[in-house]
Structure formats: structure tokens, C-alpha cells
Amino acid sequence: MRSRVALRYGRVALLVCSVSLTVGAAVAADQLPEAGRSEVRAPAVARIETLPATGHSPRGDETARGEDSARRREAAPVDRRVAPAVPAQSGNGRRVVFDMSAQRVWLVGRGGHPLDSYLVSGSRSDNLAAGEYEVYSRSRHATSFDLRSTMGYMVRFAHGERAAIGFHDIPVDSRGQPLQRLRDLGAPQSHGCIRQRRADARRMWEFADLGTPVVVTA
């Protein structure tokens, strides 16, 4: 009799154990995949939400953007909104205007509106008279009259006592050193021509073809 009761209780205990294991497995089967998906999704959602909100980017990207910005500032025209108006009595139509007193150049379009304006460094001597000229010669590379320096983007429009007078970039000596600093543009520095920032010299080169009028004001 006792053996039959013990056997019956053993079977009941075995059945309860089996049910518990089955329920536990079912619960685990529901929870583990959910937990796995939650752990994968959360970082992805966090990345999507926080990067646009903060605007943060890797340091390398910031450096690259800074370098690109610097290059764009060098190549871009000066903001015309902060430049003085084109001098009065400086002609009409498409032309280059050089104001010696302001040491500034304007590139004026066909409609009479300035396309660009920037500071330059003209001659320290009184070698250029106010008046109307035109571009008569251009050289991508040129050498100074004393053969001591070279310059690029030469656009000639007048004749001086010893050499032609034109627009070009800041000359460099035989060692490749510039003859003046960019921050000194706006003050007379040259021996006869009009010096420009290299990006501005390229702009002038693209704008002033042969025959382009050049008006010099005092």
C-alpha cells in the first residue's frame, strides 16, 4: 500500500516539475528575443535622435570643414554689401574701376552693377594718372622690370616710364617669398603695378579680356 502511494506522489511531483519547466521555457522564449531586440534598437534610435539635435560630428570632419571654409573664403569674392559704392564719374557699362585714393578695385558688369570689389596695393610713386584705359596685354606669368621677382595673372592696361602698368598677384622673390603681406593690401606697396590677392588676381584675369575698359580715379 505504501509503495503505491509513494509511486502516486512521485508521479505527481514529476508532473509538476515538468509543467514548471515548460512554463519557464515559454516565458524565456517570450522575453529573451524581446530583450535582444530592445538592446539592438535602443542605440540605433539614440544615434538617430541625438546626432541631428546636437550637430556634433567627428573631429576630423570639423577640421576638414574648417579647411574647406578657409579655401572658400580665399577664393570667394568680397561681400559687396560691405564695399563702398562704385566711384561716381567712373564710366558706364562693363569695366574695371581702380580708385587710387581708396586702393580698391571694382569689377563692374554690363548693367553697371559691381560684380566684385576688393582692396589692392598700387604704386608708392605717382606713376599713374586718373583717366580711361583699356587692357592691351595679358600674361599668365611675368617678371619684374628689374628681374628680381615674378608674378602671375598680369593684366596690363597702361604704360609707365620703365615698364607696363597692370594688375597682378603679389610678387615673390627668387626664394619664393612674397614681397608684401596680405594684411597690407589697401595701402600703396608696389613699384608701379597694382598688386592683388591671388584669388582676386585670378578673378581679374577671368574678367578682364583684351579691350576691357579700365577707369582710374584719383
Residue 64 resides in a domain: no
CA 202 vs CA 3, 75, 152, 155: distances in Å: 109, 9, 9, 10
Please give the pLDDT value at position 162.
Answer: 85
Q: Are 155 and 205 in contact (CB under 8 A)?
A: yes
With respect to residue 72, please indicate whether it lies within any of the assigned structural domains: no
Place of cell 546636437: 54
Q: Does residue 47 sit in the same domain as residue 111?
A: no
| Same domain (yes/no): 52, 97 | no
Q: Are 142 and 154 in contact (CB under 8 A)?
A: yes
Q: How many domains does the chain have?
A: 2
Enumerate the β-bridge partners of residue 150: 143, 172
Would 131 be classed as within a structural domain? yes
State the SS3 of 120-138.
Answer: CECECCCCCCCEEEECCEE
**Structural domain contains residue 81:** no
Give the three cell numbers for residue 113.
552693377
Per-residue pLDDT tens over the stretch 16-64 = 334 343 334 333 333 333 333 333 333 333 222 222 333 333 333 333 4
Q: Are residues 117 and 197 in the same domain?
A: yes
Lowest-confidence range among 54-68, 102-116, 196-210? 54-68
State which residues form the domain around 13. Answer: 2-56
Q: Is residue 77 part of a domain?
A: no
